[in-house]
Amino acid sequence: MTWTIVVGVKQVPDADEVGIDPDTGRLDRASAPAVMNGPDQHALEAALSIRDQVGSEVIAMTMGPPNATTVLEEAVAMGCDDAVLISDRAFAGSDTWPTSLTLARAAEALDADVVVCGEETTDSSTGQVPPGIAAHNGWAQLTYAEAVDARPEEGRLVARRDVEGGHELVAADLPVVVAVAFGEFPPRPAPLHRKIYGENDFEPTAWDAEDLGIEDEVGLAVSPTSVGTMETVQPVDREGELVEEVDELAEAIGEVIA
């Protein structure tokens, strides 16, 4: 059995350089260079590792502006077989609910057996989109996966998850959405010939809201949440004191907690 593995990636502003728009209270995405979401790089590696086990096809998908093709080129350079850009001005202002709906419909259209996502994105950190995709499609989900074991003969995927006091193994029948724990799947380097192909010759498939049949189900108007305000918090000044003797340490701790 050949599986179709779809991996979600997102273009986000570089977290080290992003600022906040004082008028809207939202992230000022134009103030920082765009990069691939860090957790999604690990999701890519997880998707490729599943392909290594079952010999399947890996397709990257992203929802974003037209220039988000750069993260798809990076995904293809890393080893994805194909990629889809989901872009439409109608998506503007979408929160996690219409976003996950959009990606769910795209996964359906791609006949996905497995959808792999990073655990969250660095620009919002909600962790809601992977479970949202599963909920919209009525699919199983495996969250915070540290390792994945494909079992094509059983038509299921097994994930190892960290729990208090140890680990647990959880199996799910296909189709399934997997949210990968950040840091557990270090991404493989992209070969030079794949980088050249991704940047110069590759063209992703392009879909808009009409293609997915969701013109009236996306955007700010149908999003149940909105950003009220956002502000930058300055680091708190902290004072330190070096204590070398045990008696002095105990006395210093006593003064702090008294």
pLDDT in tens, 235-253: 888 877 788 888 888 888 8
Specify the 3-state DSSP secondary structure of 150. Answer: strand
pLDDT recorded at residue 16: 60
pLDDT tens readout for residues 43-87:
999 999 999 999 889 999 999 999 999 999 999 999 999 999 999
Asked whether the predicted pLDDT for residue 26 surpasses 90, the reply is no
Using a cut of 0.85, tell me whether the model's pTM lies above it: no
Which has the closest alpha carbon to 49: 202, 184, 195? 184
Q: Which two tokens stand for residue 155?
A: 């038509």
The pLDDT > 70 percentage for the chain reads 92
Residues 253 and 185: their CA atoms lie apart, in Å, by 41
Asked whether the predicted pLDDT for residue 139 surpasses 70, the reply is yes
Residue 191 · residue 53 · CB < 8 Å: no
pLDDT tens readout for residues 159-168:
999 888 889 9
- Number of helices (H), then strands (E), belonging to the chain: the values are 7, 13
pLDDT tens readout for residues 189-218:
899 999 999 999 999 999 999 999 999 999
Summary mean pLDDT of the chain: 89
C-alpha distances (whole Å) from 198 to each of 77, 81, 112, 116, 204 are: 5, 11, 23, 21, 10
Residue type, 108: E
- Model confidence band, residue 178 (pLDDT cutoffs 50, 70, 90): very high
pLDDT recorded at residue 27: 59
Rounded to an integer, the average pLDDT of 31-40 is: 83
Asked whether the predicted pLDDT for residue 109 surpasses 60, the reply is yes
Q: Which two tokens stand for residue 246?
A: 């045990």
- Model confidence band, residue 254 (pLDDT cutoffs 50, 70, 90): confident
pLDDT recorded at residue 30: 61
Residues 80 and 41: their CA atoms lie apart, in Å, by 12
User: For residue 244, what is the DSSP state?
Assistant: -
- Model confidence band, residue 225 (pLDDT cutoffs 50, 70, 90): confident
- Model confidence band, residue 123 (pLDDT cutoffs 50, 70, 90): confident
